[in-house]
Structure 1
Amino acid sequence: MVRDFCLIWDFPAGDFRFRFVFLLLVGIACSFTGFAQKINDDYRLQIKRASSPIIIDGKVEEKAWKDAEVASDFYMILPMDTSYSQVDTDVMMTYDDERLYLLVINYHAVPGPYYVESLRRDFSFGKNDNFLLFMDTFDDQTNGFSFGANAAGAQWDGIMYEGGKVDLSWDNKWVSKVRNYDDRWVFEAAIPFKSIRYKKGIKEWGINFSRLDLKTTEKSSWAPVPRQFPSASLAYTGILVWDEAPPEAGMNVSIIPYVMGGSVKNHEGGTPTDYQNRVGVDAKIAVSSSLNLDLTVNPDFSQVEVDRQITNLDRFELFFPERRQFFLENGDLFANFGYETIRPFFSRRIGLNAPIQFGARLSGKINRDWRIGAMNMQTGLVEETATPAQNFTVMSAQRRVGQRSNIAAIFVNKTNVGQMPARNGTDTAPLTQYNRNIGLEYNLASSNNLWTGKALFLKSFSPNQSGESMVHAANLRYSSGNLTWEWKHEYVSPRYTAEVGYVPRNGYYRINPSAAYLFFPKSKKILRHGPTVNTSLFYNMDREQTDNITELGYTVRFRSQSNLTAKYTYNRILLQQAFDPTNFSGDTLAAFTDHTWSAVGMEYVSKPQSLFTYTVSSQYGGYFAQGERFNLAGELGYRFQPYVGLSMTGNYNQIDLPEPWGNTRFWLVGPRVDVTFTNTLFFTAFAQYNEQIDNINLNTRFQWRFKPASDLYLVFTDNYLPAPFYVKNRTLALKFTYWWTL
């Protein structure tokens, strides 16, 4: 299949660098087609049906566990990947008709308490003693699921994509228990087959187990993983061998209704309080064991935590990730097409300024080689802002090529439907405006994960569109134990538009090479250190350079897991349009003015084992218009583990420019408190004072998970004008959700 593909691909018109990188990508893929056997094929764990009922209580008492095969003798990943782990871990698995069971005994290597942040779900991996399970349930080394817990019992679950990334926004129904002893902590879990997706009939799943022990600063895994890769890398999974094919989940339908009541008061606008009462429902229907249909009617996302504000000194739109649960399962089929700044689809465009009325999403695998995704969402008309009703359609297909690579295609359509009020509020006019995107990309992932890359082509269509409206881009990355290098090329034409995507910049060519080299000394203090270099060169349509951003750095990682980084940055910017360098004053620099400066900076991240943790970074140097900029940022944290976490983030900018700007100084400060009464009862409160936009935001959220995946939320949000201090707007929401499985 790969070799046929190598012969039939028809290149898009464009820069020769795209063709060169693409041919190199496919050539590497072709060279790996003969490697059919998995790297860790010899690591096999037999799983057989449970010989007795199992109670999830963290006790190793059931006969089923005495009869189960044990996975032990873990390999060290960090600080070195050349020996067995010094921390012992035993893992057992079994199953019945409805659930997959997991039991883990995490022995202590040295005495002393465990380290955790809190009891909050989906904890930060590097700040907690934890155990994680990674399952390649499709046996494709690309997609799967992750489950785990920290030593205090906080759960971790996520959906896996791109061979080793985990999206922790995905939540599902499962139960677990952690019990602590003097010499070990035991993690026991039951995962319903209805909560995961898997290929029907296969008797071998990819699987690996990961352990992080902060007392010894050791990360380990059952099947060995090279230290340059995360333990989640599906290319290095062993094999879970079933005594018979996993049971079919049977009828797998989940109904998730919600009831929400609340109020919105706009004090700034002087409007009456808007009392809101909403009812809606989501449904999850398993079309097959690996293909899922999601439905939603009148969805509400009031429980989603507000975005963290940042100081914005950028010339282009900022990116904030999707947090809404409906868009997350198999979200990579839609959202990961393209690059960080070239996304033909970005789900946060849907429902941004208009309510979602209903939607449907079909996604998953239809066989070993094919994954598909189809989404349709309908939003309502908003008369106050003259926003029409809109329909969004996204379709995606992904075909595996070779062992871990794939070809993917996407179609995105946004259409205004019906009629909308004219701007004067009296007349109506029919609307036919639309924006469409089609795209094709090839994703490379070698069998050993040393080589990765991508080549993509996009084309947009809109009414009365003139001029070229396309994108082509490619990258190739090599990651060994010591050396990492990457070549990346992008071209975005001036007329390319992605109204349902995220493409903040148009009309440029970009060349972006980078490299890093790591030394691993025989030292009791330093784990690794080495230099990095990254250059980003932008050119306009006449091939004239407009941006040169070059960064040289040196990073030292200590065995305590703390980090120290020093860097030097060179900037040369030829502005293509007028720009306010403070994003605050309203005064702008003229387009086509040339600006050059350099800056130096340092960052230190403290070791995660301490109850008191901190991060501090600083940067000083030039700025636009021969000015100067000083930045100081950091975060302080203290935890009363495992129940209370306190933190304070701060960001200070001092910008000195000629008139009319003069000296500009602004703070962004954000205190936060996290209280986890239990692993099902949470309270969070944080404030954000943003001097740049003259706003204070206060957000508090109470969550009670009274049953798995069923919640009660109470959310309170305020925005204030700092001086004179008064409320701009206030929102209160009480939401109840219940996950009902048929």
Structure 2
Amino acid sequence: MKRLFLIVFVACSAIVYGQKKNAAFQLHIQKAASAVTIDGIMNESAWQQADVAKNFFMVLPMDTSHARVATEIRMTYDNENIYVVAVCYLLKKTPYMVESLRRDFNFGKNDNFIFFMDPFNDLTNGFTFGANAAGAQWDGMLYEGGKADLNWDNKWISVVKNDDEKWVFEAAIPFKSIRYKKGITTWGINFSRLDISVAEKSAWAPVPRQFPTASLAYTGNLIWDAAPPEAGANFAVIPYALGGVSKAYDKEDKAAYRKDIGADAKIGLSSSLNLDLTVNPDFSQVEVDKQVTNLDRFELFFPERRQFFLENNDLFANFGYANVRPFFSRRIGLGVPINFGARLSGSLNKNWRIGLMDMQTKHVDETGLPAQNFAVLALQRRVFARSNIRFMFVNKQSVNYDPGKDTTKPLYSRYNRNIGVEYNLASANNLWNGKAMLMKSFSPGKADKDFTHAANLQYASRHWLVAWQHEIVGKNFNAEVGYVPRRDYVKVNPSVAYLFFPKTYGKILSHGPKITSTVFFNGSFGHTDDETILQYIFNKRDQTVFDVWAGNSYVKLLQPFDPTNSNKDTLATGTQHRWNAWGLDYFSRPQQLLTYNLSARFGGYYAEGTRANLIADIGYRFQPYASIALSASYNHIKMPAPWNITDFWLIGPRIDITFTNKLFFTTFVQYNNQQQNINLNTRLQWRYRPASDLFLVYTDNYYPAPLSVRNRAFVLKFTYWWNS
């Protein structure tokens, strides 16, 4: 027994605390011997003397050979910037494939070069920069070992030059724009190239095909000739000024005029720790949410898009699970003005990260909503090779509020608090991932059944994907600043998938089955829901993906529910419903000018009804200046009276015009007959200098039948990034 225990302990230690996989891949970076001009031309002596990263490895379609398309990388630096140049050679003379010049493009639909930096060499957090072959920039923050948040935006410059044999990317990234540990001379680094004309993704340091090239577990090492220079005083102020007008035609209100000013500030307390401040923030330029047809029994989730909440957002937003989040920043300031706020975030050292946020909202006279304070503390401690333990505390407090004093206004909570801890597992080779979480809430009058626990474990190899997840949410667990659409349940969710790789070269690259089961119980372990889906997936060598699936669903309603969410009638609590369904999905080749995704679902529905759902996403690009997309969803539901036949249409055409990589125009229209609304959102953005913008935003909402205006708004907003 002792010997068996020792074997298991050694094996587990190797899983979580193994050596860095690609440590032998090293690129040396030396201080530039001459000035570097960002023009896409390597005529400076600094580039001739720089070390070269080349001989990339293929990642897709297979990861068993060197890449067919050649790529060469050089890096250098001076006291202000890190410089990168990438020479992306072509197999043959062919036009590049891109969607447009829009920033943070769709990775899979653009020829691109992207690189990933791990300045702490902790295999967990970092930054990503790059561009597509037309020069559109890509930047983001990396978290949880290789997930990219592209909402992060900062100052840097780049140029792309094209000729018949290659395209060249050259960039300068200020040390002030990133966070890194003072004195460290080894960073994690990897470079990724996607050439969709030959359907090949490659990387300098090899990455197994089941993982994204952003996986920090597989970075090589960037070796500095000396410790990177300190960024120095890093202080930036981003003031804004806006004017606007809006009118609610359906309420016959007079036009309301806006004249606002406010500012954000970024203060670099160290090279790895940042303080963000905001006063009277405005988010009018943020793109509207993409609507969905709502046939769900619970609240829908829409992602955060506001820039202030996004840097180091993983510390706050990724605690918990998709449907068990103690903190969801969209609970702050949507529909309620924010007075001011502050956020301290970043790394204290190689092992510790901190996130501290405090936001203050205004009092709303019309509804009696008191001024509220939102405070969040997140602490993260690295353990083993890539795992971590995270602590979180969330507090929502009503300021100077006496509940019930004004009987004509709704009641609001005096406070709500959540405290919790979670362990995030990430093995050194990325094959094993998982987490375990425990949370408790504190609310007036609720002192029991206010815990939640969840855990998952996943194994992902080239052939196998095996996962387990469970959640236990107490009846009185209350996260008013979080997203927990369902309470008082126990959920188990196992899944297994396997991929076959044909031994002979053909059109099919891989194929295999996947089975997923989700089962819900109530707090007393009474069975309430389940769904089991068997899917078979085909991946073609040209990057086409096709799958078919069949499933069985069971629901015991825990409260009255209208299965069309259209206020026709409700099904009674306790009624039981079971149905079978099947469907298919098809994703076309990304290297075509015309791309499309098609999905279909047919089968049963509540009350022995039937539901057919057809979804299509179609896009066409006029390279590189414009792309046109159309998303359409049709639901045909047939049920007994009083629902009878219900048809739901959701249609969303979108036009993106990128006159240059600094001037963008977007028009987005959504017709949703479930909500009886037509929404028009247009936005013109001129990035007249790095991270400084002029926005023109126009929004319309209409009743579709008869066609008439509900409300209309126009905003002109000017922002300027000034830094020391």
Fold match by TM threshold 0.5: yes
Count matched residues.
717
Match of 2:679 in 1: 697
Tell me if 1:462 matches 2:455. no
2:485 alignment partner in structure 1: 504
* Correspondences of 1:642-721 after superposition (within 5 Å): 642-721=624-703
Listed as ranges, the matches of 1:68-147 within 5 Å are 68-147=50-129
2:455 aligned with 1:474: yes
What residue number does 1:3 align with? none
Residues in 2 aligned to 1:115 and 1:609: alpha-carbon distance in whole angstroms: 7
Letter in 1 for 2:524: D
The Cα shift of 1:427 comes to 9.0
**2:297 — aligned with what?**
315
2:524 is aligned to 542
Task: Work out whether 1:518 is the aligned partner of 2:504.
Answer: no
In structure 2, which of residues 217, 233, 252 is the aligned counterpart of residue 251 of structure 1? 233
Which residue of 484, 488, 500 corresponds with 2:469?
A: 488
Report SS of the residue matched to 2:46. helix
Q: Which residue pairs with 2:321 in the alignment? A: 339
Question: Aligned partner of 2:233: which letter?
Answer: M
User: What amino acid is aligned across from residue 63 of structure 1 in structure 2?
Assistant: S
Deviation at 1:27, TM superposition (A): 9.3
Partner of residue 16, structure 1: none
State the partner residue of 2:28.
46
Look up the SS of the partner of 1:314 in the other structure.
Answer: coil
CA distance in 2 between partners of 1:110 and 1:225 (Å): 26
Deviation for aligned residue 1:33: 5.5
Deviation at residue 110 of structure 1 after TM alignment: 2.8
1:58 corresponds to which residue?
40
Give the corresponding residue for 2:341: 359
Aligned counterpart for 2:429 among listed residues 432, 444, 448: 448
The question of whether the paired residues in 2 share the 8 Å contact of 1:652 and 1:668 is answered with yes
Deviation of 1:420 after TM superposition, in Å, equals 7.7
On the 8 A contact 2:367/2:409 being kept in 1, the answer is no
Task: Report what 2:569 is aligned to.
Answer: 587
Cα distance in 2, alignment partners of residues 149 and 354 from structure 1: 37
Shift of the 238–270 alpha-carbon distance from structure 1 to 2, 3 Å rule, reads same
Residue 348 of structure 1: SS of its match in structure 2? helix
Q: Does 1:387 align with 2:369?
A: yes
Residue 19 of structure 1 corresponds to which residue in structure 2?
Answer: none
1:288 is paired with a residue whose SS is coil
The amino acid of 1:108's aligned partner reads L
Give the aligned partner of residue 280 of structure 1.
262
How far 1:547 sits from its partner (Å)? 0.7
Per-residue deviation, 1:645: 0.6
RMSD of aligned C-alpha atoms?
1.6
- Contact 1:141/1:235, CA 8 A, preserved across alignment: yes
Measure the CA separation in 2 of the matches of 1:307 and 1:119: 22
- In structure 2, the residue corresponding to 1:625 is in which secondary structure? helix
Q: Are 1:387 and 1:420, in contact at CA under 8 Å, matched by a contact in 2?
A: no
How far 1:30 moved relative to its partner? 3.7
**C-alpha displacement at 1:424, in angstroms?**
6.4
2:464 partner amino acid? L
CA contact 1:417–1:432 (8 Å) conserved in 2: no
Quote the Cα distance in structure 2 between the aligned partners of 1:675 and 1:716. Answer: 16
Counterpart selection for 2:146 from 156, 161, 164: 164
Distance 1:421 1:297 in 2: 28
Q: Aligned partners of 1:76, 1:285: CA distance in 2, in Å?
A: 41
**Contact 1:298/1:358 (CA < 8 Å) preserved in 2?**
yes
Aligned to 2:556: 574
Q: Provide the rounded CA distance (Å) in 2 between the counterparts of 1:165 and 1:370.
A: 19
Flag structure 2 segments of 5+ consecutive residues without an equivalent: none
Deviation track 1:182-240 (CA, whole Å, cap 9, x = no partner) reads 00000000000000000110000000000000111000000000001000000000000
> What are the within-5 Å matches in structure 2 for residues 121-270 of structure 1?
121-270=103-252
**Cα distance, 1:497–1:73 mapped onto 2, change above 3 Å:** same
Q: Distance in 2 between matches of 1:116 and 1:187?
A: 15
Contact 1:585–1:661 (CA<8 Å) still a contact in 2?
no
Deviations 1:418-450 (A, max 9, x none): 248979688999x87100000100000000000
Name the SS of the counterpart of 1:592 in structure 2.
coil
Q: Secondary structure of 2:40's match?
A: coil
Distance in 2, Cα, partners of 1:306 & 1:177: 30
Unpaired stretches in structure 1, ≥5 consecutive residues: 1-5, 7-23
SS at match of 1:66: helix
Assess, with a 3 A threshold, how the Cα gap between structure 1 residues 637 and 32 changes in structure 2: closer, same or farther. Answer: closer
SS of 1:152's equivalent in the other structure is coil
The residue type paired with residue 465 of structure 2 is T
- SS of equivalent to 1:677: strand
Identity of aligned residues (%): 59
Determine the C-alpha separation between the residues in 2 that align with 1:222 and 1:632. 41
**Corresponding residue to 1:628 among 610, 620, 624:** 610
1:732 paired residue among 711, 714, 718: 714
Structure 1 segments of 4+ aligned residues over 3 angstroms from their partners? 26-34, 419-429
Equivalent-residue separation in structure 2 for 1:111 and 1:78 (angstroms)? 22
Q: Distance in 1 between matches of 2:469 and 2:544?
A: 30
Counterpart-to-counterpart distance in 1, 2:10 and 2:583: 40
Q: Larger deviation: 396-405 or 267-276?
A: 267-276
Alpha-carbon distance, 1:490 to partner: 0.7
Cα 1:710/1:27, change in 2 over 3 Å: farther
Asked whether the equivalents of residues 17 and 428 of structure 2 are also in contact (C-alpha less than 8 Å), the reply is no
Which secondary structure state, in structure 1, belongs to the residue aligned with residue 34 of structure 2? coil
* Deviation (angstroms), 1:31: 4.3
Contact 1:701/1:713, CA 8 A, preserved across alignment: yes
Most deviating of 170-179 and 551-560 = 551-560
Matching residue's letter, 2:528: T
User: Which of 631, 638, 649 is the equivalent residue of 2:620?
Assistant: 638
Q: CA deviation at 1:624?
A: 0.3
Gap change, CA 1:627 and 1:27, over 3 Å in 2: farther
Distance apart, 1:275 and its partner CA: 0.4
Please give the alpha-carbon distance, in whole angstroms, between the structure 2 residues aligned to 1:142 and 1:541. Answer: 36
Task: Give the distance between the partners of 1:341 and 1:540, measured in 2 at CA.
Answer: 16
Query: How many Å separate the matches in 2 of 1:427 and 1:577?
Result: 27
Code of the residue aligned with 2:685 in structure 1: it is Q
* Contact persistence 1:29–1:402 (CA under 8 A): no
2:196 maps to amino acid: L
| TM-score, normalisation: structure 1 | 0.95
Residue 17 of structure 1: aligned partner: none
Provide, for residues 593-616 of structure 1, a one-character-per-residue CA deviation record: whole Å limited to 9, x for no partner: 000001010111110111111111
1:463–1:421 distance in 2 versus 1, CA, 3 Å = closer
Find the aligned partners of 1:114 and 1:31 in 2 and give their Cα distance: 44
In 2 relative to 1, CA 468–130 (structure 1 residues): closer, same or farther, beyond 3 Å?
Answer: same
TM superposition score normalised by structure 2:
0.97
Give the letter for the 2:473 counterpart. V
* Counterpart Cα distance in 1 of 2:409 and 2:129: 55
Separation in structure 2 between the aligned mates of residue 338 and residue 665 of structure 1, nearest angstrom: 36
Q: 1:660 Cα shift?
A: 1.1
Q: Larger deviation: 710-719 or 552-561?
A: 552-561
